[in-house]
A and B are shown apart, each in its own frame.
Chain A
Amino acid sequence: MPETEKAQIAHLLRRAGFGATQEELDEFTAMGYDATVRELVYPTPRALDEPDILQRYYLGNLPPDDHRFPGEDLLLRYYPDISRAEGGFVAKWLYRMLNSHDPLKERMALFCHQLFACGGSKAGHPRSNRRQIETFRRVGLTNLRTVLVEVSKDPAMIFWLDNNENHRVEPNENYGRELLELFSMGAGNYTEADVKASTQAFTGWTFDQPLVGTVYGKWPTKFVYHPEDHDDSEKTFLGETGRFNGEDIIDIICRQPATARFVARHLYNFFVADEPPVSAWSQLPPRNIEAIETLSEAYFSHRGEMRPLMHTLFTSDFFKEAMFQKVKSPTDLVAGLARIMGTFKEPEIGIGKHLNAMGSMGQTLMNPLTVEGWITGQGWIDGGTLNERVNYAVNEIADTSVPGTQDLIDRLGTDGESVSLERFVDLCLEHAGLSTVSKETRAGLLSHAHAGGPIKFRSAADRAMSETRVGKMLQLVVSAREYQFY
């Protein structure tokens, strides 16, 4: 594969964002790789690019403070189904992934959602769950300590891991354990006594019980600390002793080399190349130990600040060398396809269908099944989910009237009155973001091209015929094995 700067920038934009249009790619290529990284990690402030119309289509807005947003109240009172019909906040989040000028912010929110997996189905309080995603968007690129404190104070998380049931006299270990096992250090780096100390430290961290739901929505809730329910006794945690509260535990966690390595491995798995499931990490070494070392060092030298850490990651050789080393998540598959097709550039009705499709492929955003998050990489693929992926992509791309496909047909037409079948296959592959494919895939595509005869652009009828051919070729391209990688 020719490692041209343009190809590397395309790779960067797929991983730090959700892909790029040809236009955006040309723009960033003119800037160069390093400048593109800087723009992603330290974006130029822009006016808020969220039109009011977004709210009208998807709702799920979050009030600026803990008071209810009057417009939303009224709308929901009269049209209680409006937000549900179009996926509400998740729809808005997907829309932002596709259109944001600060895509890394949405990527980091998704990273946090994968790492601090929290399921909405248990809570039944969507307001808290969408607030959690807003928190991830807000703090994802700050500092690991800030992120861990915010996660520990997040009402949705507190409910999901039962910290509201973690009392001075009756401790509940769910949060105290998962904070260590899944959110910061990883199994094997602490003892059962540390789990108990961590649990004690988070007693009294709870939320205001919201009032029961009303016909037009639910009331917000917020973090509260109940000192009378906090176990203020002396605790020993990871070798340190004191009357620790939750923030002290997080401070100690953030000083551990195990934490730096664990977060580094998560970043590597999410942004660079697939790793085995988290549950195997205590037994299986990282795929690239040097990369983990580099990121761990960056973690300590930048005192847990995420932006410089991401800068280190995106400018490293191990990142640049990892093109097509990851299996697309359902979010990436759906977002990537919408990017290719040029759909959802404005809010449109119909986004709910795509969210459902992601669920069938194994990823219902804002509702991972367990606190382990989704099993990524090869874990995204089994017979059932591959079936869903292929059928979804094939059905979607069948619509050749979309702007992306029309562009491709235009580009094919500029070749002259007839296009060679090799060129036809190549352009369709490139359009789908695939620079190289196996010889089996290429042979399959070429034999399909040959079966259909030449591609011509002499007349309007030729063009119509070519349009059909492009549609069918793209259907095969998106069902190829290679299309599952990015």
Chain B
Amino acid sequence: MVTSVKKPPVLVVVQLAGGNDFMNTIVPFANPLYYDYRPTMGVKEDKVVKINDQVGFHPAAAPLKQFWDSGKMAIVQGIGYPGGSRSHFRSMYIWHTCEPVKISTEGWLGIVTKMLDPKKENVLTSVNFGRGLPQALVSKGVPVTSVGDLDNYGLMTGLTVEEQRMEALDRFKEMYAPAMGTGPVMDYLSETGNSVLQGAEIIKKAPEMYKSKVEYAGNEIARGLRDVARVHLADLGTRIFYVNHGGYDTHSNQAPMHQILLSDLTRAISDFFRDLRDHDAADNVTMLVFTEFGRRVADNGSGTDHGAGGGAFIIGDNVKGGFYAEYPSLKQPDLADGEDLKHTYDYRGMYASILEQVMGLDSVPIVNGKFEQLPIFK
């Protein structure tokens, strides 16, 4: 019997939609300029969960400290791309497709899915939880499973007579037979229908097999990460998981909103890794937490407007914990357009670091070029 088979790496991507305020997540409390810019939105120094003499976590992000202290969390600072877009939708599209200038229809994780499973042997190679497939996972002809409700995922489940259900599923299969050339959306429907047909029968094992001592909270991100845990623990060969956490567009009422968001997010991440560790299934999992942009340096009195220079977290047993890239300067002359954090590092380099150092893939065709990698991983 083989005693040690190296488990294939698994990437969990957590998308913070709306533009997370990096300055109020990793707070530069020792910099007096921070409090000048943030008279109402600044997080008070005595509340900050300090991680060195310069910066610390927002108090609601305290659950992340365990990862930091055990050296399993990388904080990538000052991330952006040339000509940062302040449009949520454009900026998210840029992060999803690795194309800051032109429009690409290929999502970076769609290409990854194709590389990991070129023969399309497993429709569960990449799984998204949520309603609406993120562009990051879209690539023509690449099946990706998207699950709105894991406990009720399955076609024709209303047909209670099993024989009739099987017949209906057979007809469904015939009707969704690939008929290339009938139009891109029709082709896509065929692929999607077939993915559901194959995926549902396999994935429905996951909730049946799952047992855990961890009690997740009832919010969106906790449910999402619990679903990731359930499928990961069922060992169905999924390599990419994607979940969305929305609500970060805090133009107003930011203080209480951001508190809830960060608290929900970081508790869910903490519960998720505890769940995996309890099942001895954490060591091959890398989590990337990203957002489309940071927010304006100066607050607007009750919140913050769209800015640049965001940040990302990478968490996992394989991570060499620490800060990567530079926290952008807060000095007025150093700001982009006089009001935004200037990015110090290109997001595509961070993708490349994950792809090359963890997933063992050639990053160039995925991120569309060569970008500076960071030595984030052991």
Residue positions of A touching B, CB distance < 8 A: 161-162, 164-165, 167, 169-174, 177, 181, 187, 192, 195, 274, 277-280, 282-284, 327, 360-362, 369-370, 372, 375, 377-379, 381-388, 390-391, 394-395, 398, 438-441, 443-445, 447-448, 451, 472, 475-476, 479-481, 484-485
Contact = CB atoms under 8 A, between A and B. Distances in A.
Interface stretch (B186-194, B210-218, B260-268, B311-319): B186-194
Given A162-B251, A277-B89, A481-B176, A283 B103 contact: yes
Given A383-B145, A383-B147, A384-B131, A391 B301 contact: no
The interface centre, meaning the residue of A167, A388, A391 with most chain B CB atoms within 10 A of its CB, is: A391
Contacts of B190: 481
A390 B251 contact: no
A177 B118 CA distance: 42
22 contacts: A165-B303, A172-B252, A172-B303, A174-B249, A174-B251, A174-B252, A187-B85, A274-B185, A279-B87, A382-B131, A385-B132, A387-B148, A394-B156, A394-B168, A398-B158, A440-B177, A440-B179, A444-B172, A445-B171, A447-B174, A479-B155, A481-B193
A376 B61 CA distance: 35
A444 B132 contact: no
Given A187-B87, A192-B86, A484-B189, A475 B174 contact: no
Given A165-B252, A165-B303, A438-B179, A448 B171 contact: yes
A277 B167 CA distance: 37
Nearest to B158: A395
B189 A386 contact: yes
A461 B189 CA distance: 39
Given A370-B17, A383-B195, A177 B146 contact: no
Q: How extensive is the interface on chain B, given as a class?
A: 35 or more
The interface centre, meaning the residue of A174, A327, A360 with most chain B CB atoms within 10 A of its CB, is: A174
B89 A279 contact: yes
A391 B156 contact: yes
A387 B154 contact: yes
B273 interface: no
Given A274-B185, A386-B193, A388-B148, A170 B155 contact: no
Contacts of B249: 174, 370
Contacts of B147: 383-384
Given A169-B301, A440-B175, A475-B168, 13 more contacts: A173-B251, A327-B185, A360-B149, A369-B246, A370-B17, A378-B185, A382-B133, A383-B145, A383-B147, A388-B148, A391-B157, A440-B174, A440-B179
Given A279-B90, A280-B93, A383 B158 contact: no
Contacts of A485: 185
Contacts of A484: 189
Given A165-B300, A173-B306, A440-B175, A385 B148 contact: yes
B148 to A, nearest CB: 3
B74 interface: no
Contacts of B93: 277, 279-280
B371 interface: no
B337 interface: yes
Contacts of B171: 444-445, 447-448, 476
The interface centre, meaning the residue of B158, B182, B306 with most chain A CB atoms within 10 A of its CB, is: B158
B100 to A, nearest CB: 11
A395 B17 CA distance: 34
A448 B174 CA distance: 11
B168 A479 contact: yes
B102 interface: yes
B155 A387 contact: yes
Given A173-B251, A378-B185, A394 B158 contact: yes
A343 to B, nearest CB: 17
B300 A394 contact: no
Nearest to A476: B171
Contacts of A438: 175, 179, 182, 186
Contact of B175 (A162, A192, A278, A441): A441
A278 B89 contact: yes
A162 B148 contact: no
Contacts of A172: 251-252, 300-303, 305
A144 B156 CA distance: 45
Contact of B149 (A165, A170, A384): A384
